[in-house]
Amino acid sequence: MPFACAHQPFELPPELAAELAAAYAEPQRAYHDATHIAEVLRWFDRVADDVGWQDPAAVYAAIVFHDAVYVPGATDNEARSADWLRRTALPCDRDRAAALIELTASHGHIAEVDRDAALFLDSDMAILGAAPAAFDAYDAAIAREYSAVPAEAFRAGRARFLAGVLAQPRIFLSEYFHARLDAQARVNLARALAVAPANFLPHSK
């Protein structure tokens, strides 16, 4: 079943699950697709096993919906995804889940959030600390999503985002992810930036 995981706190209604599956299969997606959601749900399960969630239902809903609306380069993807979630009748704190989604618009620029929010945001960004081959596949997929943007402008914007993340004293907000992924994330980001241009434009996560 789509969007299933070991610690899934509730089942999505079949019609809603089908709508989400169709959204994540849209042709403009190369990274922000169902595979990404499944990977974040794997982290959801790992966190549940290792340290637990305070509000697993809200976090699960936020994960499933956080890229439900995705147009490369648009500035309202997160807001529209959050609005879609708010309009559902899911058995969770929908306002809390929507607020978590809205936080993803500020990846790389967040200093302090509560425990669940930190773990949720880190789960979404865990790809930065993946093995080199997985990180490179992610980086290439983001480039495919922005293929309509002139290559030079895309590389500059991408470099701005990656450099901003690398410059943070902590790439991951939670101690759980910081301890596991920070070192590899810094290696991956430094390697990606070594071939990036010096002039920076708006970012893409």
- Note the pLDDT tens digit of each residue in 86-145: 999 999 999 999 999 999 999 877 878 999 999 999 999 999 999 999 999 999 999 999
Q: What is the pLDDT of residues 16-73, one digit of tens each?
A: 999 999 999 999 999 999 999 999 999 999 999 999 999 999 999 999 999 999 999 9
| CA–CA separation, 125 and 6 (whole Å) | 21
Domain ranges of the chain: 14-193
Residue 177 and residue 124 in contact, taking contact as beta carbons nearer than 8 Å: no
The pLDDT of residue 197 is above 60: no
| CA–CA separation, 117 and 16 (whole Å) | 24
**pLDDT (mean) for 158-166:** 92
User: pTM above the 0.85 mark?
Assistant: yes
Residue 37 and residue 3 in contact, taking contact as beta carbons nearer than 8 Å: yes
Q: Confidence class of residue 163 from pLDDT cuts 50, 70 and 90?
A: very high
| CA–CA separation, 166 and 128 (whole Å) | 10
Indicate the Cα dihedral angle 127, 130, 134, 139, nearest 10°.
Answer: 50
